[in-house]
Structure 1
Amino acid sequence: MKILKVINFLIIFSAFFLFNTSVFAQGDVPRETRSVTYPVDETVMLKFRGTTRFPRMKGEGKIQRTKKNGTEIELSVSKMPRPFELGAGFATYVVWAISPDGQVDNLGEIKRRGFFDFDSKISVTTPLQNFALIITAEPHYLVRRPSRAIMLENLNPFSMSGKTLATTTAVQYFGNSSDYFSDTRTPEIAELDYSKTPSTILQAKQAVALAKFAGADRDAKEELAQSQTILQNAENSWKAGRDEETVDIVARQAIGAAVKAETTAAVRREAREKRNEKTRQDADIRDAENKIMDAQGEVANIRAELARETRNRELAERDAQNYANQVKELRDELGRLREEFGKNKVETEDVKAKLAKIDNERQEAERLQSESDQRARFQMNQGILMQSLRKFGAVSQDERGIILTLPENYWSGIRVSSFAPTAEPKLTSLGEVLASSAEYKITVEAHTDNKGTPEELESLTSERARAISDKITSFGVNQERIEAKGFGSALPVAPNSTNANRAKNRRVQIILVPSI
């Protein structure tokens, strides 16, 4: 019943911008997911995938549309991080249904259990029939639009009966574009607070902060004060050791009051802006009326002047013919001058165009000569550089650039990332050579054999790549030129079936990529 009330409240206030079959909520590149049309009395199964930012998350759902209760949804999710780890402003997770025609339905909150876990299952209902499902991180459970922190989205459905299900081409959606999530005033949730404080109190604090961000401290002071009082009551109840349900009820009342303050502030701000616009329009009208009065006075003055001119017209008629002749002569002269000016202007433009073309050709010739000289110097120095690198390891060349493969004796052991004592002078000399070769970008790639877990091997190779990168950086190589990568055992050069092959796979390669 509580979930249905929340859904009804959100349906009243939710709004999405629609463009063809796409749902928009910000001016960024949209994500896409599949929208499903659920038939009546048909059990449909869905798989969920994590977005590119959260690929390890997963989930599944069972959906059934009935004539009586709308569309019933049962979700099961796992591997969800704690919301505060995603950034300032996030305190819980919310399930959303988004239809291709622009409707958005807040289906409810995935509640926290303990410090690390969230309820793995949630059962909700929506009146929609054709929709996509997503899960987002949110400040509180009564938000009206999804945030940009999209955690999970549904994949293509399949029916338990084997029936083919209708889906739209794509539903595109965006996160909430509010600056709240990047504002320095947005309260951050510390790990200690998260572990000890009830989730609804953390959400209530975010809801109050959102109301302030929306201007409630100016346009909805009483409503904001009420939400802050209720929030304080919830915190006092929690600190006094009241039961969890009582604290949860009061905290959710604080969230509702804060949402009301945020909405009220938005409505009043809009009304104030309309009043200000009306005031500006009234001022413009008064200014126009004053200008009309000034114009009427000017017209009266002109009429008086016209009367005086009429009285003097008889005196001026004797000179009218002379004036007419003079005007004709002046017009003829003006026409001649205009024609001459036009010819001169065309000639001037032609000269300017020719000069500009000559200058561009000169600059292009200088640029091509400079590039040719630079390439010649680069080709001449490349052989010298490769010869200089051979004293540090095996040197080869492919389409990426020059590849220096360091031998295993640079390290103090097979499974460590510390340098052998004999490697220090070699690395010093190598750093000096690389520092003097500024025309190359440097990629450090570390690999190993398959002895160990993928996590251990990836950590080892990453540490080795960073160690090499840090060492040559300390000898004057610009950090912006260097990229360090650890691949674990993902890219062997030989099967890991013999000790000799495993030794080949344990390698660190420094790739010099020309930047010319």
Structure 2
Amino acid sequence: MKRDKILFGLFVCLLVFSRAYGQVNLKAMTLPEGKKIETSFNKTNRAPDRASMLARLNYEKGVASVELSFEHLEPAILFAGDISTYVLWAVGPDGTVDNLGEIIIDKRDCSGSQKFYVNRKILALMVTAEPYSSVSRPTDLVLFVNAESGEKGVQIAPFTYNDFSTRARPALDSISSIQYISDVPVALKQAEKTLDFAAKVGADQVNPKAINQANEALAKARNQKDKKMAADGARIATQFAAQAINETIKMEEEKAAAEAEAKRRAEKAALEQRASQAESEAQQLARQLEEIKAERAALAKETEQLAAQTRQLAQEREMIQKERDELAGKLKSALSTVAETTDTARGLMVNLAGVLFDINKATLKPESQLKLAKLAGILMVFADIKLSIEGHTDATGSEELNLKLSADRARTVYEFLMSQGVSTDRMKYQGFGSSRPVAPNDNEINRAKNRRVEVVVLKEPEN
């Protein structure tokens, strides 16, 4: 049972931190005329843990006002990568979206309210993290969606939205437990991020003047001692950069539309030519029709085969994931038979404390070789994993001596594992001396805990 819980926990972590939102379930509200309503928001695991939102909506004469209140939000720049800000969206059941504007979060643990307007009677609300405020399509970094309003007279229509932009990507999928701690104004970092994104999409080639103006405004903002003036200057830089980005994206979209139109016209011309030939050559038309029928039948058969292959691939992926989870559990169980094994952020850590070497020696004890041979045997079975062998000492002796002794001990374990057939391509070793104690060096028991060699089974390769 314990092992099943561990495997399930690993699966949930992988699901939360590695998958992108391909679609999001929304609830469209039909707003009554002249009646103020209130709705809370559901948040995703991307949002800060303590964050919350509430919206008050009022629809009159074709315009909906949205008063958005928020608490405990952190700046979007914490996502890193291309991301710099938050945007509130109104989404229709037909898949159309309106960018209602930027949600300005200019400090850590930010609370406040903003008002937005949109010409929609039927809408869902969604908050996303974006590269800049004037984007025309949302990214899939969804943090909040409106909940089902409990107000009377409000019709709710669930629907799914999936028309996300993939131009901008974050470095982190979630900022649930992160806070902004920098003294640099958020607006300055947003301007820098927006300029970086402008360079990424080649906006300097489309509107170099706006990019130059953005850089000049940012330079002035950086030199401002007053934080408010620095933030105002940075926002000007962001606006210039966003202008260049939008022009670049518009040009790309127009180019793509022109290419699509040219392709459509070419296809239309080809069809007209074929139709003309068909009118003058009835027999050829009949033959072509038969060929088309055969092609359609073949295409239908091929489509069916592809669908079957897709289902089979999905089943195989599921089996592979299950096998990986089982292998992870087996690896930990196997390593635990050698020495104390714990899960860490870097991976599984095997703690060989005080069992391998005599004090101030780097030569393996005879009885330790059996333990390491067993470890080598396990590592030979799990042949794809990477290892970091790390030596540590207590605080007795000089720093120079401890550093050398810890490195020598790590190397001894490295060489022993190599002699047992573990490839050197999979391993690295290093010594840390007494710099990373696991217990105070105030008595012999604790010093013995600090005299150790740790073998870390790395989740990800390290330089």
* Length-normalised TM-score, structure 2: 0.49
Larger gyration radius, structure 1 or structure 2: 1
**Higher-RCO chain (CA-CA 8 Å, sequence separation at least 6):** 2
* Length-normalised TM-score, structure 1: 0.44
